[in-house]
A and B are shown apart, each in its own frame.
Chain A
Amino acid sequence: MSHSTVKILCTALLVTALSGCPGGDAAAPASAPDAAAEPAIPDALYLAARPEGAAPSLVALKGTSKVGDSVVFEARVGGRKDPFVEGRAIFVVADTGLKSCAETEGDGCKTPWDYCCETPEDLLKNVATIRFVDAAGAPLKASVKDHKGLSGLKQVVVRGKVSEADESGNFVVDADGVWISD
Chain B
Amino acid sequence: MKLLPFEYAVRNLGRNPLRTALSVGGASLVAFLVLGAAAFVTGMRQSLAVSASPDNVILLGTGSEESIERSQLAFRSAAVVAASLRGIRRRLGVPYVSPEVHVALSVTRTASEQSGRLTVIRGVTSAAFLVHPALEIVQGRVPVQGQNEVLVGERLADKLGLPPEDVAVGRTLHFDGQPWTVVGRFSAPGTVMNAEIWTALTDLQVVTQRDTLSCVILTLDPAQGELADVQAFAAQRLDLELTALAEAEYYAGLDAFYRPVRILIMLTAGLIALGGVLGGLNIAHAAFASRARELGTLQVLGYLRGAILVSLIQESLIGHAAGALVACGLGYALLDGLSVRFSMGAFGLVVDGAVVATALGAGLLLGVVGTLPPAFRLLSAEIPESLRA
Contact = CB atoms under 8 A, between A and B. Distances in A.
Contacts of A1: 7, 10
Interface in A71-108: 79-81, 83, 85-88, 90-92
Given A21-B352, A30-B55, A170-B239, 17 more contacts: A1-B7, A3-B6, A7-B6, A10-B321, A22-B352, A26-B49, A29-B227, A29-B247, A30-B220, A31-B57, A31-B220, A85-B232, A88-B232, A90-B232, A116-B63, A129-B238, A170-B238
A127 B225 CA distance: 26
Given A87-B228, A129-B235, A81 B63 contact: yes
A124 interface: yes
Contacts of A32: 226-227, 246
B90 interface: no
- Sort A-B residue pairs by CB-CB distance and give the 7 closest, nearest first: A31-B227, A87-B228, A20-B353, A29-B246, A168-B239, A21-B353, A31-B226
Interface residue tally of chain A, by bracket? 35 or more
B236 interface: yes
Interface of A: 1, 3, 6-7, 10, 13-14, 17-22, 26-33, 79-81, 83, 85-88, 90-92, 114, 116, 120, 124, 127, 129, 131, 139, 141, 164, 166, 168-170, 172
B228 A85 contact: yes
Contact of A21 (B226, B231, B354): B354
Contact of A3 (B7, B227, B230, B243): B7
Contacts of B54: 27-30
Given A31-B246, A129-B238, A17 B226 contact: no
Interface of B: 5-7, 10, 49, 52, 54-55, 57, 62-63, 65, 220, 222, 225-232, 235-239, 241, 243, 246-249, 318, 321, 325, 328, 352-354, 356-357, 360
B241 A120 contact: yes
A166 B146 CA distance: 36
Given A30-B54, A85-B228, A17 B325 contact: yes
B102 to A, nearest CB: 21
Contacts of B357: 17-18, 21
Tell me whether chain A's interface is mostly helix, strand or loop, or mixed. Answer: loop
A80 B226 contact: no
B258 to A, nearest CB: 15
A95 B228 CA distance: 25
Given A18-B360, A21-B357, A22-B354, A170 B228 contact: no
Contacts of A168: 239
B248 to A, nearest CB: 5
Contact of A124 (B230, B239, B321): B239
A26 B356 CA distance: 20
Nearest to A83: B235
Contact of B238 (A20, A92, A131): A92
B353 A18 contact: yes
Contacts of B235: 80, 83, 85, 88, 90-92, 129
Given A3-B7, A17-B328, A170 B236 contact: yes
Given A13-B325, A26-B248, A129-B236, A31 B7 contact: no
A15 to B, nearest CB: 11
Given A6-B7, A17-B360, A88 B228 contact: yes
B222 A30 contact: yes
Nearest to B61: A120
A33 B227 contact: yes
A120 B243 CA distance: 14
Contacts of A87: 226-228, 231
Nearest to B356: A17
Nearest to B255: A26
Contact of B232 (A28, A116, A139): A139
A3 B328 CA distance: 26
Nearest to B352: A22
A26 B46 CA distance: 9
Contacts of B243: 80-81
Contacts of B6: 3, 6-7
Contacts of B352: 20-22
